[in-house]
Structure 1
Amino acid sequence: MQNTHPTLIRMIPLLFVFLWSTGFIGAKYALPFVEPFYLLFLRMVLTIFVFLALCLLFKAKWPPMRLAGHQMVSGALIHGVYLGGVFAAIKLGMPAGVAAIIVGIQPILTALISWQLFSDALRPMQWLGLGLGLVGVVVVVFSTQLQDEVSLTWPALIASIAALLGISIGTLYQKRFSGGVDLLTGSVWQYVSTAVLMAVLAWSFETREVTWDIQLILALGWLVFGLSVSAVLLLMYMIREGEASKVAAYFYLVPLVACVEAWLLFDEDLPPLAIAASVLTVLGVYLVLKKPASAK
């Protein structure tokens, strides 16, 4: 993407947010017909074949085994632990809104880990932006999805916290150890490790029964091409080219866009309070990404 027009490059984060947000919609369409871990396993296997075809088409360069190992670790964290944790938490009875709140802490956690381990210092205005974004996400999710009576179990909490740690640590690991790796071949190794992890979980805890409905087929197709191919390539590019804390800040926008999509597709409520909190979250992301006057 080195010769990409600057305007298109600036559009990449917005396109990523839109595509990533549709993962919740695709899962909602698919899960009535298949169990979560087996759905993820099928998604990963299909995605591997797509990426292998892309690697052949574009004659992508394969990384040495040392870098391939790093890709497998980051893939298992970003895709396996994150997606598996979220799906498992919801399956164990956690409301999607509560799971979104827990995973929504990711930008703050990523910034803290990056600050401690890699000395990626944030300006006070960026910390303020992260805080505002977190408040906005919590208010949006509570006002649109949280039920009056919520019963949380320890297994569900552990699964959601595992998802939070997976996406946070995986993003930093990818930034730290995967520089210079071709995005196509690197993604193949990421999905190989994720497929293995999902296979272990599916064959250990699920029946792997599938009701092949056109709704499932269309949802699975979107999860593969829209999410696992398009969105993840954009995410890997953003991680490679940007600061980890700034990339993580875009995740604040995902629940907001998902709420709007659910409102349009499933007629879920979008209260005025949620709209106001969305504005607060957008302001927070702006503060994180805004360059200081001296840099300008």
Structure 2
Amino acid sequence: MTRSRWLVPALSVLFVPLWASGFIAGKIATGHLEVPAVLLWRFVIALAVMLAAAAVLRPALPVGRAWLHLAVTALLLQVGQFSFVYSGLASGVPAGLSSLILGMAPLLVGLLTPLLLATRLGPAPVIGLLIGATGVYVVLADDLGGGLGWSVVFPVLGMLALTAGTLYQKRFNDRTPVVTSVVVQMATSLVATLAVFPFLGVAWLPPTPGGWLAVVWLGVINSAGAFVLMFLLLRWRSTVYVSSLLNLVPATTALTAVPVLGEPLTAQAVLGLAIALVGMFVGLGRFPGRWGRDRPGRDAEPVPAGAAVPPP
């Protein structure tokens, strides 16, 4: 229990900027090469990193239908989500607006969790998720009227894929070692991308150093790193806990886009970040009084990433 008191908060603090960086790096990457090539190199690099980790940790292999469940999760959480998100970024959807739309996924995950995963929710997480959703809306509300047309559909579809993949990961893959889970998902995603790549007629290699830097960041930091953290937090806490953290991503993306992408900083971004922080505070059960005793996801002692997880 002592270990989880510092480990989970530390990983939570690290998770938000790593996840948010995917929108920034994705916007840069899609400015240098086509979406299929971005996906291809993301999965190649992430798979190489995770295979190296697997060689050291030697985690247990999936058993039986776990292989199929991991493949389904990969198609939803990896191929589906990022194909749509990168297509939107390449079509001109701002990184901040993409993160705002993807920020709606935590609300759907939190509301669907009791129906699909038989998890009891008290008032705190529901109210916290609603406050967080309000915060991410405030951050970039003006962009919703920016005349982007049908391009906005891409991040909406990505948000639905993220919601489905998060729930599926929690429901069917929670007992698979984290490193094994990420390796199989990246391998599945790479195979799916390679299967269609020859028919798309796009260049394979990033043409500039900036393109290489962006795809390396997506593969190592945002893909391998962020998803390992996500799966660990899903295992050690709950979908609501992870959803509350994801509420902070749109505001973090908006603030990061100021120095990196040159997007202007507005009072709305600061206000939205503050509201999202309150939503996370309430959603994680840190609100004083009776709600504070309704904390979701009081989980057992963390399990090492390479170890098999016992039944709940």
* Superposition TM-score, scaled by structure 2 size: 0.85
Taking a change above 3 Å as real, the CA distance of residues 65 and 97 of structure 1, as seen in their structure-2 partners, is: same
Does residue 131 of structure 2 align to residue 136 of structure 1? no
Q: Which amino acid aligns with 2:219?
A: V
Does residue 30 of structure 2 align to residue 35 of structure 1? no
Gaps of 5+ in 1: none
Match of 1:161 among 156, 160, 168: 156
Equivalent position of 1:106 in the other structure:
105
Deviation at 1:158, TM superposition (A): 4.2
- Superposed CA deviations along residues 108-152 of structure 1, whole A, max 9, x for unmatched, are 111121122223232223222111111110111235xx2864141
Does residue 134 of structure 2 align to residue 152 of structure 1? no
- Superposed CA deviations along residues 242-272 of structure 1, whole A, max 9, x for unmatched, are 1112211211111111111111223321112
Q: Which amino acid aligns with 1:47?
A: A
| Conserved? CA contact 1:103–1:161, under 8 Å | yes
Deviation at 1:205, TM superposition (A): 4.0
Bigger mean CA deviation after superposition, 39-48 or 211-220 = 211-220
How many percent of aligned residue pairs carry the same amino acid? 25
Q: Distance in 2 between matches of 1:53 and 1:149?
A: 44
Q: Which amino acid aligns with 1:91?
A: A
Taking a change above 3 Å as real, the CA distance of residues 234 and 294 of structure 1, as seen in their structure-2 partners, is: closer
- Superposed CA deviations along residues 212-251 of structure 1, whole A, max 9, x for unmatched, are 3221222222112111121111011011111112211211
- Superposed CA deviations along residues 8-65 of structure 1, whole A, max 9, x for unmatched, are 3211111010111111121233222211122111210222122222211222221224
Q: Distance in 1 between matches of 2:239 and 2:117?
A: 10
Q: Distance in 2 between matches of 1:209 and 1:56?
A: 28
CA RMSD of superposed structures (Å) = 2.3
Equivalent position of 1:249 in the other structure:
244
Map of 1:69-88 to 2, 5 A cutoff? 69-88=68-87
- Superposed CA deviations along residues 155-179 of structure 1, whole A, max 9, x for unmatched, are x354333211211111111111112
SS of the aligned residue for 2:31 comes to helix
Deviation at 1:204, TM superposition (A): 4.2
- Superposed CA deviations along residues 168-215 of structure 1, whole A, max 9, x for unmatched, are 111111111112211112211111222233334544445235443221
* Superposition TM-score, scaled by structure 1 size: 0.89
SS of the aligned residue for 1:63 comes to coil
Q: Distance in 2 between matches of 1:160 and 1:261?
A: 19
- Superposed CA deviations along residues 48-106 of structure 1, whole A, max 9, x for unmatched, are 12222221122222122421221111122111111111112333454444433332211
Q: Distance in 2 between matches of 1:171 and 1:112?
A: 13
Map of 1:1-296 to 2, 5 A cutoff? 4=3, 6-143=5-142, 146=143, 149-153=146-150, 156-200=151-195, 202-208=197-203, 210-291=205-286, 292-294=291-293
Taking a change above 3 Å as real, the CA distance of residues 284 and 172 of structure 1, as seen in their structure-2 partners, is: same
SS of the aligned residue for 1:33 comes to coil
Q: Distance in 1 between matches of 2:292 and 2:112?
A: 26
Q: Distance in 1 between matches of 2:93 and 2:37?
A: 19
| Conserved? CA contact 1:18–1:257, under 8 Å | yes
Equivalent position of 2:308 in the other structure:
none
Q: Distance in 2 between matches of 1:268 and 1:244?
A: 31
Gaps of 5+ in 2: 296-312
Bigger mean CA deviation after superposition, 40-49 or 156-165 = 156-165
SS of the aligned residue for 1:45 comes to helix
Q: Which amino acid aligns with 2:262?
A: D
Count how many residue pairs are aligned between Structure 1 and Structure 2: 291
SS of the aligned residue for 1:250 comes to helix
